[in-house]
Amino acid sequence: MNDFSDLFYTIFSIVIFSFLLLQANSLMLRNDNVTVDYEYEKTAIALAQSIIEEAKSLAFDENLSADDVPNDFKAPGQFGSGGLSREDFTAFDHFHGFNETVATQLGDYDITVTVEYIDSEPPFDPVGGRTTSKRMTVTAGSVANNDSATLVYIKSFF
């Protein structure tokens, strides 16, 4: 073959190979992005879960010797730590309004917590008065990645 057909076949092969290599590279890059996002999300979930685990071990309310349940429980407007440090929290609702920035290997995470009384029956909507159920909502979000996780835990007096 004295014509240029071998040269065209070679160039065509290089172009096809380059296209396939570019697609493989793009696929690997997307996979890396998903893996990094997963790590940020996993860390956010772990931080939020650690707050919930700590709060689960605390008393439902400071007024546990109440004769008139739930009317003797702390009023919703009194939720919060009342100036206590986290180590001194003794009741589930002390975490209400808790904010913390935690430094991890992936960067800083902002953690916010809210606690509210909820209806004891589904759909567990917030109520203005006292009930025998409280809901804790913990949001942990990465400052660097804007990726966050919100976990909810319901604690019942009974």
pLDDT in tens, 73-118: 888 888 888 888 888 899 999 999 999 999 999 999 999 999 999 9
Q: Are 87 and 148 in contact (CB under 8 A)?
A: no
Instruction: Say what the pLDDT of residue 105 is.
Output: 92
* Burial of 43 from C-beta contacts in 10 A (0-12 / 13-18 / 19+): buried
Average pLDDT over residues 122-126: 87
- Residue 96's Cβ-side half-sphere holds a number of Cα atoms within 13 Å equal to 19
Sequence ranges of the domains in the chain: 5-156
Phi and psi (nearest 5°) for 28?
A: -65, -40
* Burial of 149 from C-beta contacts in 10 A (0-12 / 13-18 / 19+): buried
- Residue 15's Cβ-side half-sphere holds a number of Cα atoms within 13 Å equal to 6
pLDDT in tens, 106-120: 999 999 999 999 998
Residue among 147, 150, 118, 125 at smallest CA distance from 137: 150
Residue type, 78: Q
* Calculated CA dihedral for residues 82, 87, 92, 94, nearest 10 degrees: 20
- The whole-angstrom separation of Cα 134 and Cα 153 is 8
